[in-house]
Structure 1
Amino acid sequence: MGQGLKLQALTQERAPSVTDIVYGQLYDSIVGLAMPPGTKLSEADVASQLGVSRQPVRDAFYRLSQQGFLLIRPQRATVVSKISPAAVLKARFIRTALELETTCAALKRATAEDFQTLEDNLEHQRQAIEADQRDVFHELDDAFHALICTIAGHPEVWTLIKDNKAHMDRVRYLALDKKSSTTAFNEHVAILAAMKADDKQTVNDLMRSHLNRIADTIHTIRAEHTEFFEEDDHEN
C-alpha cells in the first residue's frame, strides 16, 4: 500500500464527509503514483490505516472504480488499474475543448492585475524548476490553468477539467522531469505573451498544441513504463 495516507481533519465550514476524505487521499495517491498501477488494496487495511470504518472505504473504492482507477474483483484483492492510453486521449480531448473556450473568454475579461497574477505564477514555476521541485511545479502548472478559468469568470470549469484530466496526470507524473517541466513552462510563457497581445488565434493555437503534447509523448512513455499500461488497449 502506498505511503503518506493520513486522515485529514474535517473542517467546520462545509465539512466533507469521511468518504470524501478517504476518496481524496486514495485519489491523490493513485494519480500521483504513490500507489502505482498494480498496487493491491484492501478495505480492512485502508480503514485501519486511516482510522475509519470500512463503509466509507468501500464507498470510496466504488467511486474510484467508476472512474477507472481501481479494479474491484470479488473474492480477490482490489488493485490500482493500469493506465489506459484510450482514457488518457479521451481526457485530453475533453480538457482541450473546455480550456480553449475558457481561454477565449479570459481574453475578453483579463485585466492588468490578472496578467500580473499569471506572471507571478510563472515566476514561481521558474523557481520550482530551478530547485527541481517537480511536485511543486505540477501544482503551479495546474494553478496557471485554473487561474485562466477564474479570469474567464468560470472557475467551476476547472473542477470539470480536474475531474476529467486525472488519467492524463498519471502519465504526466511518469514524464515529470526538469526537461518536460521546462518545456511546459516555456509554453506557458508563450501563451501568456499572446494573451497580453490580445492575439486570439495565436493563443488558441498555442493552447491547443500545449494540451495536445501528451498525445505525442504517450507512446514513448508507455514504452519506458510498459508495466504500468494496459496491454490490450484500443486507442482513439
Structure 2
Amino acid sequence: MKLEISEKKKYESIREYALRIMNKNLLNMNLAPGMALSEQEIANELEISRTPVREAFIRLAHDNLLDILPQKGTYVAKIDLGQVAESIFLRETMEHAIMQVACKNFSESSLQKLQSCLDLQELCVKRDDFPRFFEMDGTFHGIIFAACDKTRIWQMIEQMSLNYNRVRMLNLVNGYYEMPKLFGQHEDIFMAIEQSNWEKGEKVIGEHINKVLKDTEDLKEKYPLYFKD
C-alpha cells in the first residue's frame, strides 16, 4: 500500500491530518473498495502514532467509507449504489433550488470567483489533470452555494456525497465522464447565472448530476468487486 501524502497543514490536528489524507486516498482509489487496512501500516506511512489513525478509522466508518469488523479487521467499504442514488437526489434537489436563487441575485465578485475557477479547470483539461479538476469541480459548486449564503447546505451535501464522489472519480478515470464535457457544463452554468436564465441553468444541472447513474452498469462490469451486491 502506497498512500498519496501531502504535508500537514499548520491549523490541522494530527487526527484531522490523518482523516484528510485517508479521505483523499479513498476518493482517488489508492485505497480501493474491499482492501484490508492496518492502523499500524498507515501510521507508519504518515509517521504518526496509531491513536489518530484509529480515530480517523472510526470517523470514516461512521461515514460509511470503512467497515470495521470485530475479530476480522478493517476494510475499505464497497460502494453502495443505494447511497449514491440518495446523494444524487439530494444534490439535484438542492442544486435546482440554489440555481433559482443564484439567477435572481449573484454578485459581480462571486461571478469573478466562478470565472477564476473555470480558468483553472480549463488548465486542468489541457493538462489532463483529472484529480485537480475533480477538486476544482467541488470548489465551483461551493462558490455558488456560498454566494447564496448557503455554505452549510453545501457542506452537508459534500458529507453525504462521499460514495457518489467515488463513483464520479471512477467515471473520470475511465473516460466515461470526459473533462471537456464536464467543463462545458460548468461554462453553461456560469452563463445561466450571468444571464439570470434559470431555465437554462435547471436543464444543465440535471444533465450534470445524473450522468453518473447512466454509467454505473458499465463500472460494475469493469469493477465487480468495488460494489456491494
Normalised to the residue count of structure 1, the TM-score between the two structures is 0.87
List per-residue Cα deviations over 1:185-230 (Å, max 9, x = no partner).
Answer: 1111122222222122221222122111112222222222212112
Alignment of 1:13-162 (within 5 A): 15-162=11-158
- Matched residue type, 2:204: L
Q: Partner residue of 1:226?
A: 224
CA-CA distance at 1:110 after TM superposition: 0.9
In structure 2, give the amino acid aligned to 1:149. F
Kindly indicate whether the alpha-carbon contact (under 8 Å) linking 2:92 and 2:206 is maintained by their aligned counterparts in 1.
yes
Give the 4+ runs in structure 1 shifted more than 3 A.
none
Gaps spanning 5+ residues in structure 2: where? none
Which region of structure 1 is more displaced relative to structure 2, 159-168 or 171-180? 171-180
Query: How far does residue 131 in structure 1 lie from its aligned partner after superposition?
Result: 1.3
| 2: CA distance, partners of 1:211 / 1:49 | 36
Count, aligned residues:
227
Partners of 1:2 and 1:163 in 2: CA distance: 25
Contact 2:18 2:52 in 1 (8 A): yes
Contact 1:38 1:228 in 2 (8 A): yes
**Offset at residue 39 of structure 1 (A):** 1.8
What 5-or-longer segments of structure 1 have no aligned partner? none
Matched-pair identity in %: 26
Contact 2:57 2:66 (8 Å CA) reproduced: yes
Query: Which residue of structure 2 lines up, in the alignment, with residue 191 of structure 1?
Result: 189
Picking from 201, 204, 207, the partner of 1:203 is 201
| Root-mean-square deviation over aligned CA pairs | 2.0
Structure 1 residue 6: Cα displacement: 5.4
Moved more, 109-118 or 214-223: 109-118
The Cα of 1:143 is off from its aligned counterpart by: 1.3
* Structure 1 residue 163, shift from structure 2 partner: 0.9
Q: Indicate the larger mover: 123-132 or 107-116.
A: 107-116
Shift of 1:147: 1.0
8 Å contact kept, 1:2–1:29? no
Q: How far apart, in 1, do the equivalents of 2:149 and 2:99 lie?
A: 10
* One-letter code aligned to 2:199: Q
Q: Tell me whether 145-154 or 94-103 shows the greater mean CA deviation.
A: 94-103
Provide TM-score, normalisation by structure 2: 0.90
